[in-house]
């Protein structure tokens, strides 16, 4: 049986049979920075746990930072953990830029990670 405390959710079912001596569960963060603790327990065994620290930040940089009409700029996305240590992110990052009259743009709040 798996239980969770902190800003996360376990995917059901939380009680699973062991296969080859292992039982696995999927954990999802709700996006709130903090500490998630997942505890595994089984009748006749000592419960054990794993702690996951969530949070962190995403940094964007552009090269070049000024782009003439019809030209391109390469956007680099860097993901870091809650302690500022760069981490590898595997997935899709969707970026949207809203144009303004000055030709600059800002990233809206709906930047998504799939």
Q: Strands (DSSP E) along 24-113, which ranges?
A: 27-29, 34-40, 48-54, 57-63, 74-80, 93-94, 98-99, 105-106, 112-113
User: Which among 10, 19, 54 is positioned nearest to 36, based on CA atoms?
Assistant: 54
User: What's the confidence (pLDDT) of residue 110?
Assistant: 53
3-state secondary structure at position 78: strand
Tens-place pLDDT, residues 74-110: 777 787 877 788 877 666 666 655 555 455 555 555 5
Residue 46 to residues 2, 36, 39, 42, 77, Cα–Cα distance (Å): 13, 20, 11, 7, 42
The stretch 66-72 carries a mean pLDDT of: 76
């Amino acid at each position: 049986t798996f239980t969770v405390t902190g800003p996360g959710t376990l995917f059901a079912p939380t009680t699973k049979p062991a296969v080859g001596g292992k039982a696995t569960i999927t954990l999802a963060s709700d996006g709130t920075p903090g500490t998630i603790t997942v505890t595994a327990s089984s009748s006749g065994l000592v419960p054990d746990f794993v702690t996951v620290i969530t949070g962190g930040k995403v940094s964007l940089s552009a090269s070049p930072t000024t782009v003439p009409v019809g030209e391109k700029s390469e956007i680099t996305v860097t993901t870091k953990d809650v302690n500022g240590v760069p981490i590898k992110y595997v997935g899709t990052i969707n970026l949207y830029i809203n144009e303004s009259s000055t030709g600059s743009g800002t990233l809206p709040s709906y930047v998504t990670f799939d």
